[in-house]
Amino acid sequence: MLFQWEQGKHSPQHVVQSFLRMLKTDPDVEQFAQELFEGTVAEKEVLDRLVREQTENWRLERMAAVDRNLLRLAAYELVHHPETPPAVVINEAVEIARRYSDKDSVDFVNGVLDAIHKKLACMPTKS
Task: Decide if 52 is inside a domain.
Answer: yes
**How many folded domains does the chain comprise?**
1
Residue 105: pLDDT over 80:
yes
Task: Decide if 41 is inside a domain.
Answer: yes
Give CA–CA dist 2/8, Å, rounded: 10
Task: Decide if 35 is inside a domain.
Answer: yes
Task: Decide if 10 is inside a domain.
Answer: yes
pTM of the model: 0.88
Look at residue 125 in the predicted model and tell me its pLDDT: 60
Residue 10: pLDDT over 70:
yes
Q: Model confidence at 127, in pLDDT bands (50, 70, 90)?
A: very low
Write the pLDDT tens digit of every residue in 41-93: 999 999 999 999 999 888 888 899 999 999 999 999 999 999 999 999 999 99
Task: Give the CATH number of the domain where residue 104 resides.
Answer: 1.10.940.10
Task: Decide if 127 is inside a domain.
Answer: no
Q: What is the four-CA torsion angle of 96, 63, 65, 82, rounded to 10 degrees? A: 50
Phi, psi of 63 (to 5 degrees): -75, 155
Task: Decide if 17 is inside a domain.
Answer: yes
Domain containing 75 equals 2-122
